[in-house]
Amino acid sequence: MLDLKFVRENPDLVKENMKKKFQDHKLPLVDQVLELDTKNREVKLAGDDLRASRNSLSSQIGILMKNGKKEEAEVIKADVSAINQKLIENEKLESEYASKIKEIMMKLPNIIDSTVPIGKDDSQNVEVQKYGDPVVPTYEVPYHADIMESFCGIDLESARRVSGNGFYYLLGDVARLHSAVLTYAIDFMIDKGFTYCIPPFMIRSDVVTGVMSFEEMDAMMYKIEGEDLYLIGTSEHSMIGKFKDQILPKAELPYTMTSYSPCFRKEKGAHGIEERGVYRIHQFEKQEMIVVCEPEDSYSWYNKMWSYTVELFRSLDIPVRTLECCSGDLADLKAKSVDVEAWSPRQQKYFEVGSCSNLTDAQSRRLGIRVKGEKGNYFAHTLNNTVVAPPRMLIALLENNYQEDGSILIPKVLQPYMGGTTKLEKKK
C-alpha cells in the first residue's frame, strides 16, 4: 500500500506507474482517493474546531456555576450538547471517509523499481542470465508422471477418487526423494544464516489482505468455512504476518527466516490443472525464505536471495536461468521480481521453479511493521523468495538425471539424505 501523502503529492507519478503496469482501468481511483482525502481533512478540521469550541464553553460553565449563575450555565450546557451531537455526526463521516480511502488505497499498485522492464505480461519477461549448460540427451526423456510411475512413485488415480484433480500420492523412492530435497534445502538455508521455522498453516483475513492484493486473494486462497481463517498459499504469508503490528528494534534487523510448509492454492483461472502431472496442483510443499530489513538494504538482500536459489539448483547439477519480470507481470505489491527457471530436457525449454520479490514497504504499511528509529518510527522492507518447491523441483531433478535405461542418478549432495543411495532403478 502506498503512503497517502505520497499519492497526494505525486498523483501524476502514481498514474504513470499504473500505465506502466497496464492498469489504466485503475486511473480514476487516484482522483477518487484525493477527493475523499480532501473531504476527510475538511471534516477533521471541522471536528477540531468543534472540540475547541466545546472546551471553551465547558470552561465557561465551570466559572458560571462557581459564581452561582446556574441559568446561564444551563444555556451554555445546551450549546455543548448540540456540539456533541455535531461531533458524533462528524466522527461518523470521518470513519466513513477513512474506510473508503483505505479500500481504494489497497487497490493502488506499489511503485515499481526504475529498472523493471516494461511489458504487458509474462511473455515479455527478460532473460538475465543462464547458469549451467542445458543438455538434450540422444534418447527420449519421458513425461515426468511416467517417470514417477516407472518407480511406482505416484498414484494420481487414487488421489482423484479421494480429492479430485490437482492432488497426488507420492510413494516409495519418489516420496523419499521429495523429502530429501526439502531436508537438503533446510540445511542449505541454515548454512546461509537463516533461522529455520515451521509457521502456522492457516492465517486470518487481516493477514491475507496485508500480504497480497484482493485479486491474488480471490484467485489463490481457500477459506475455512465458518471461521476467519484461510489456508496459506505459501509460508511467506504467515512468516511476514509474524511481524504484524510490531515495532522492531533497529539493532535486531535484518530478520532472515526460512520456512517449510504445505501450500494450498485454488489456481482459479489457471489453465490445465493437470490430471497426470504435478506441475500445477492444489496442494504441494515448499521451502521459502523471507527477509525483513532496513529500506536501504532491501535490494542487496534481493540479489542475495535469488542467487541462493540459483546456487541450490546448480548444486544439484540442474541448469537454470533468471528472468526479470516485466511491469505487467508484477503483482500489485511487488516493486521488482525475478523468476528462476529450470531446464527441461524433455520439453527442451526452461520452466518456472521459483520467484524472488522485493515488496519494499507495501506489505509493512498494510500490516503495520515498523522499525524503531532514532528520529522516529518508519516502515521496514519485506522480501520473499522460493528456496525450492519439490513437485516442480522433482520434475527438473528427474528429467535432468534420467538415464537411457530408465534409472535416475541421485546428485551427490542428496545422497546422504537418501541413505547413501546413488541411483534409483525402475520397478519391474
CATH of the domain at 159: 3.30.930.10
Domain assignment present for residue 111? The answer is no
Same domain, 140 and 250: yes
Task: Work out the number of other CB atoms within 10 angstroms of the CB of residue 29.
Answer: 19
Task: Give the pairing of strands 247-249 and 349-358.
Answer: unpaired
Same domain, 210 and 263: yes
β-partners of residue 118 are: none
Q: Is residue 147 over pLDDT 80?
A: yes
Same domain, 291 and 344: yes
Same domain, 33 and 172: no
Q: Range with the lowest mean pLDDT among 59-68, 152-161, 385-394?
A: 59-68
Residue 386 parent element (H or E): strand 381-388
- Those residues whose C-beta lies under 8 Å from the C-beta of residue 141, and which sit 6 or more positions away, are 147, 345, 346, 399, 402
Measure CA 200 to chain center. 15
Residue 7 parent element (H or E): helix 4-9
Domain count, the chain: 2
Q: Residue 16's domain is classified under what CATH number?
A: 1.10.287.40
Same domain, 73 and 126: no
Q: pLDDT-based confidence at 192, cuts 50/70/90?
A: very high
Q: How far apart, in Å, are the Cα atoms of 378 and each of 118, 288, 350, 361?
A: 30, 26, 40, 9
Q: Are 389 and 354 in contact (CB under 8 A)?
A: yes
| Residue 140 confidence (pLDDT) | 96
Same domain, 360 and 297: yes
Q: What is the pLDDT of residues 339-394, one digit of tens each?
A: 999 999 999 999 999 999 999 999 999 999 999 988 899 999 999 999 999 889 99
Among residues 54, 72, 105, which one ends one of the domains?
Answer: 105
Same domain, 94 and 177: no
Task: Work out the number of other CB atoms within 10 angstroms of the CB of residue 20.
Answer: 18
Same domain, 235 and 337: yes
Tell me the C-alpha distance between 328 and 85, whole Å.
Answer: 49
Same domain, 86 and 159: no
Among residues 74, 105, 136, which one ends one of the domains?
Answer: 105
Q: What is the pLDDT of residues 273-283, one digit of tens each?
A: 555 688 888 99
| Residue 273 confidence (pLDDT) | 53
Domain assignment present for residue 116? The answer is no
**What is the mean predicted confidence (pLDDT) over 117-144?**
96
Domain assignment present for residue 117? The answer is no
| Residue 214 confidence (pLDDT) | 78
Q: What is the CA radius of gyration of the chain?
A: 28
| Residue 390 confidence (pLDDT) | 87
**What is the mean predicted confidence (pLDDT) over 239-257?**
97
Q: How far apart, in Å, are the Cα atoms of 387 and each of 123, 183, 283, 287, 305?
A: 24, 12, 17, 5, 9
Domain assignment present for residue 115? The answer is no
Q: Is residue 185 over pLDDT 60?
A: yes
Half-sphere exposure of 356 (CA within 13 A, CB side): 23
Q: pLDDT-based confidence at 270, cuts 50/70/90?
A: low
Q: Range with the lowest mean pLDDT among 25-34, 136-145, 194-203, 216-225?
A: 216-225
| Residue 14 confidence (pLDDT) | 98
| Residue 274 confidence (pLDDT) | 54
| Residue 71 confidence (pLDDT) | 80
| Residue 230 confidence (pLDDT) | 95
Among residues 48, 75, 105, which one ends one of the domains?
Answer: 105
Q: What is the DSSP string of 112-179?
A: PPTTSPP-SSGGG-EEEEEES-----SSPPPPHHHHHHHTT-EEHHHHHHHT-TT--EE-HHHHHHHH
| Residue 276 confidence (pLDDT) | 67
Instruction: Quote the domain boundaries for residue 406.
Output: 122-424
Domain assignment present for residue 400? The answer is yes
Q: Range with the lowest mean pLDDT among 62-76, 146-160, 234-248?
A: 62-76
Question: Cell numbers of 105, please?
Answer: 488505497
Same domain, 163 and 21: no
Same domain, 35 and 85: yes
Same domain, 354 and 278: yes
Q: Are 263 and 286 in contact (CB under 8 A)?
A: yes
Average pLDDT over the chain reads 93
Q: How far apart, in Å, are the Cα atoms of 87 and each of 37, 51, 101, 129?
A: 19, 8, 21, 61
- Those residues whose C-beta lies under 8 Å from the C-beta of residue 15, and which sit 6 or more positions away, are 27, 30
Domain assignment present for residue 262? The answer is yes
Domain assignment present for residue 114? The answer is no
Domain assignment present for residue 113? The answer is no
Q: Is residue 154 over pLDDT 60?
A: yes
Q: Is residue 428 over pLDDT 80?
A: no
β-partners of residue 169 are: 155
Q: pLDDT-based confidence at 80, cuts 50/70/90?
A: confident
Q: What is the pLDDT of residues 287-338, one digit of tens each?
A: 999 999 999 999 999 999 999 999 999 999 999 999 999 999 999 999 999 9
| Residue 269 confidence (pLDDT) | 53
The pairs formed by 30-36 with CB atoms below 8 angstroms and a separation of 24 or more are 30/108, 32/104, 33/4, 33/7, 33/101, 33/104, 33/105, 33/108, 34/7, 34/8, 36/97, 36/100, 36/101, 36/104
| Residue 323 confidence (pLDDT) | 98
| Residue 77 confidence (pLDDT) | 85
Q: pLDDT-based confidence at 272, cuts 50/70/90?
A: low
